[in-house]
Amino acid sequence: MNHRLCVAAVLMTLSLSAGAQVLTAKVSGGQLQGVAANGAGVFKGIPFAAPPTGDLRWKKPQPAASWQGVRAATAFAPSCMQDPMMLQVQQAPPGASEDCLYLNVWTPAASARERLPVMVWIYGGGFAIGTTAAQVYDGKRLTEKGVVVVSVAYRVGSFGFLAHPELSRESGKGSGNYGVQDMIAGLQWVKDNIAAFGGDPGNVTIFGESAGGIAVSMLAASPYAKGLFQKVISESGGSFAPSRREAEGGELVPTLAAAEAMGQQFLGKLGAANIAAARALPAEKILAAQGAGLASGFWPTDDGDVLPGDQYVLYSAGRFNDTPVLIGTNSDEGALFIQGGVTSAAFEQQIRAGYGEHADALLAAYPHATDALAVEAAQDVFRDSAFAWPTWAWARLQSAKGKGAAYVYYFDHRTPQRPNGAWHADEIPHVFGNLGLGFAAPGVPSAPAPSAADTAMSELISTYFTNFAKSGDPNGAGLPRWPAFSEQNQQVMFLDAKSSARPVPNMPQLAAFEKYFAWRREHAH
């Protein structure tokens, strides 16, 4: 009998511990009810701002309305307006809407009294697409390492980044950065409410990939985001080139004047005489006018306010939100974007068109004598101009001008599908522990079952990232030593078959881009 009582007591204890999760939370808008999922409490579709519809289209986010009673937080909200085919590619539900400013929380906390580190995910997608509902972004596996995970939606395409003289006059502070302001509103919500989920509002790490990685670097330079996070992780991101005035190579963030001119053209395309007329149009008409896929052309704007200027210059002057940073790139990033069709002559013409008097130096740094070499060169120019040079610049500026340490990685996990190196976004399933998930066009075969090497890499990178979120240092027992980056000791952590710290790869190419961007900066005014 005693034996049976003992077994019953053990079973009772197990069932109680399994149920000891935060499943209800009182937040600024009211009461929430989440669901349990394998030891975590999961809350989806929490409003953090009012629907940016009608007169709120192309305005900074406004406070969300409160609700009565208990709100079920059990399903993702619709994604922000974007090409519906791109939601399929992201393996996300098909629904998109302008009413999209919602966030999601995964928490391993047993009670709201815990103060666990918080990681806030900002999705990528070229600022044209993106969703918190992609399967690969599910935060459950990361919570097993003792962190609360939040994912925040933000407006994309013309809905998030249309600048226009009329909108600038309306705000009195420039225009074109509603998507970035959405992120800031989401982070403010986290600061105000995450303690209800067992999270520590004073230990928040923002992390993102691609446009999301670029966005977190922008948040690191925006005065409006000051104090809303204590650490930054950027995967294939960084925004350190001068602002774009025309079609300068490697420059992505437009000046306010360039963005406003594009906005005026866009209103003409819509047949709208003014902003009021454009706000009266259905969202579908605006989406159709901006183009399919990633072709919207809209990007955050150097408005002098939310984004107060060239980040290289801001960092050089010590004007940024100083935190530890963990940043890096993938070895074969450009292969996702350029998959052939580049001739030697076309490559040379493209470089000469975009890079002015520095074209010869760049052409010398990227061998392109044959068409096969030209494809590789085009891929590598994409990798280095968009991702690797900004990351290297960021690491040098942070380590020289900030108190927070910089840790840099180079993800080079090779597989039978990726024999030449890791493509753009290949690290995301490893970071989240969601191997086998990712992005694929309809009809593309699903990823093969994860290998032992894939699983080991996922364990390594997710442990580094969560260690960093906890303490500002990725290092821990049993892990290859990852030294902080400095100008004098430019070591990066190679994440590959023999992960270890080594010198920065592709230095001649990065040095050529360093000279190019310095020249552009000198002639920016």
For the ranges 141-150, 303-312, 418-427, 440-449, the lowest mean pLDDT is seen at 440-449
For the chain, the farthest-separated pair of C-alpha atoms sits apart, in whole angstroms, at 89
Residue 1 located in a structural domain:
no
Judge whether 210 counts as a catalytic residue: yes
Q: Which of 260, 333, 376, 427 is catalytic?
A: 333
Q: What is the pTM of this model?
A: 0.95
Residue 506 located in a structural domain:
no
Pairing of strands 199-209, 24-27: unpaired
pLDDT in tens, 377-403: 999 999 999 999 999 999 999 999 999
Does the structure show a pLDDT above 90 at 110?
A: yes
- 3-state class (DSSP) for residue 152: strand
Backbone dihedral angles phi then psi of residue 420, each to the nearest 5 degrees: -100, 0
Residue 507 located in a structural domain:
no
Judge whether 175 counts as a catalytic residue: no
Q: Report which secondary-structure segment, H or E, holds 16.
A: helix 2-18
Q: Which of 158, 210, 234, 296 is catalytic?
A: 210
Residue 517 located in a structural domain:
no
Residue 321 located in a structural domain:
yes
pLDDT in tens, 25-76: 999 999 999 999 989 999 999 999 999 999 999 999 999 999 999 999 999 9
The partner residues of 104 in beta bridges, in order of sequence, read 151
Q: Which domain holds residue 473?
A: 22-338+384-498
Residue 518 located in a structural domain:
no
Residue 154 located in a structural domain:
yes
Q: How many domains does the chain have?
A: 1
Judge whether 358 counts as a catalytic residue: no
Q: What is the DSSP string of 384-427?
A: IIIIIHHHHHHHHHHHHH-SS-EEEEEE---BTTBTT-PPTTTT
Q: In this structure, what token pair is assigned to residue 353?
A: 């068109």
What's the CATH code of the domain at 230?
A: 3.40.50.1820
Q: Which of 358, 368, 413, 424 is catalytic?
A: 424
Of 80, 41, 286, 106, nearest to 183 by C-alpha is 80
Residue 104 located in a structural domain:
yes
